[in-house]
Structure 1
Amino acid sequence: MTKTIALAATLLSGFALPATAMAAESDGPLQIKLLGTAVLPDGKITSLDVNVAGIPATTQTEASENVVPTIAIEYFFTDNFSIETICCVTQHDVDATAGLAGAELVSNARLIPATFTAKYHFDAGAIKPYVGAGATYFLWISDKPGAATIPLGVTDTDLSDEFGFVLQAGVDIPVNDKGLGVSFDAKRYFVDTTARWYAGNTLAIQTEHKLDPWVLSAGLSYRF
């Protein structure tokens, strides 16, 4: 997080002056962004509902962080109002931090965080800070039992697809009058999932999780 803020400050100082001189005629209704995105889960187990396998009741987990490429597509209805959607696939492992500390519980869980936000862009010259909010649907496209669950007889793992809510803030900075710019974006997701571990056809473990990741992005934008 500190490195991200420092990088943003450096680029802002470098682009702030030339950005104010950019002509407005390049501001078309469509903007496409190619971003590098850090996905930083910040969730926890909220309840242990089924425990046939007998894991400790104090078990707590965390998901691994990941950095992935992201494409964002944004349409401006006015200079101040737009809608945006993003496309990416992120992969995470889930390890225990208490109860079974260090044990891998879920392996290679791959997620598409389908996200739509409505954004308000402030009038601050050529530099465009914004805030937004919207909806997300977490679609799990694959997951495998973690290494620590296999000796317990687990043969399959399932993470439920869920709707959630997302808040957003960031800034777009033009670097020339042809529509090219740089963008910095931060999102906080609020979404849950139900995790199930099966031994054959028997539900052995079921937990409720808050996922609530921070998603931080930086990269290039092109508006036309």
Structure 2
Amino acid sequence: MKKTMLTAAAAFAALAVPAAAHAGSAEGKIQVKLLATGVLPDGDISRINNPGVLALPANAALAANPHTYASDNVVPTVAIEYFFTPNVSVETICCVTKHHVNGAGSLATTNLVNNISIIPATVTVKYHAPLGPIKPYLGVGPTLFLVLDSEPGATAATFSSTTKLSSEAGVVVQAGVDVPLGSSGYALSLDAKKYWVSTNARWYNAAGVEQLSTRHKLDPWVLSAGVAYRF
């Protein structure tokens, strides 16, 4: 009986060690965030690569005519962060966001691209100011916008059967604050990111011939709020 009790106690201790190692702590090495994120892209045309169906010169510098804009979206986001020191960490995020691009200016009322799916693969190095329990931070890093899918909008479908947006790299800066809820490891988190990244949009007819190519500024603001858990 005594041997059985000792065996059970040893098993319980073995299970308890990992549990203790993963207990919440406001000073833990790992932090996971679950956020609601608003993605607010620009989407404006910055250059005509191939005018195709537009009566404009190639590589035209655009002023008032024509313009486009990308729709906003709200998506769930997961962020994972590792603290090298109490003040320096690295963070990556995971989400998929969808948008469409419509015309403005001389292209007003047109629908050019629909169902653009993007993964904004992002890594930032963050500095957390040592200001007590409330932890404001600044961050900077690279990003890669992976465009998974897109299709011609209703207007573009009159001259195109497919459209492709290029996946491209850029940079991001961020600022935010984590507000711990006691010492349990939970916190409220507010975060703002500004991205600088562009994409080439190309429209093709059924024979695979390019009908139009434009350069677009995506350059989104990405605003997040949610809960964090640190351990």
What TM-score does the superposition give when structure 1 sets the normalisation length?
0.86
Q: Aligned residue for 1:140? A: 147
Write out aligned runs for 1:1-224 (5 A).
26-54=26-54, 58-151=65-158, 153-200=159-206, 201-224=208-231
| Alignment RMSD (CA, Å) | 1.4
The answer to whether the 8 A contact 1:129-1:172 is kept is yes
Give the C-alpha shift of residue 25 in structure 1. 5.3
Give the stretch that moved more between structures: 202-211 or 39-48: 39-48
Runs of 4+ in structure 1 off by over 4 angstroms are: none
Give the C-alpha shift of residue 34 in structure 1. 0.1
Secondary structure, in 3 states, of the residue corresponding to 1:150? helix
Give the C-alpha shift of residue 209 in structure 1. 1.1
Distance 1:170 1:199 in 2: 45
Percent of residue pairs identical: 51
Quick check: which one's strand share is greater?
A: 1
The answer to whether the 8 A contact 1:154-1:199 is kept is yes
Residues 14-43 of structure 1 show CA distances to partners (whole Å, capped at 9, x for unaligned) of xxxxxxxxxx95411000000000000124
Residues 78-127 of structure 1 show CA distances to partners (whole Å, capped at 9, x for unaligned) of 00000000000000010001222021100010100000000000011100
Give the C-alpha shift of residue 207 in structure 1. 0.4
Distance 2:83 2:167 in 1: 30
The answer to whether the 8 A contact 1:167-1:188 is kept is yes
Distance 1:43 1:145 in 2: 15
What TM-score does the superposition give when structure 2 sets the normalisation length?
0.84
Distance 1:51 1:65 in 2: 27
Give the stretch that moved more between structures: 58-67 or 69-78: 58-67
Residues 42-100 of structure 1 show CA distances to partners (whole Å, capped at 9, x for unaligned) of 24111112122236672210000000000000000000000000000000010001222
The answer to whether the 8 A contact 2:68-2:101 is kept is yes
Distance 1:55 1:174 in 2: 57
Structure 1 gap ranges (5+): 1-23
Structure 2 gap ranges (5+): 1-23, 58-64
Secondary structure, in 3 states, of the residue corresponding to 1:110? strand
**Aligned pair in 2 of structure 1 residues 149, 56: CA closer, same or farther (>3 Å)?**
farther
The answer to whether the 8 A contact 1:41-1:211 is kept is yes
Distance 2:188 2:32 in 1: 11
Distance 1:198 1:55 in 2: 17
**Aligned pair in 2 of structure 1 residues 25, 149: CA closer, same or farther (>3 Å)?**
closer
**Aligned pair in 2 of structure 1 residues 192, 25: CA closer, same or farther (>3 Å)?**
closer
Distance 1:102 1:89 in 2: 27
The answer to whether the 8 A contact 2:25-2:230 is kept is no
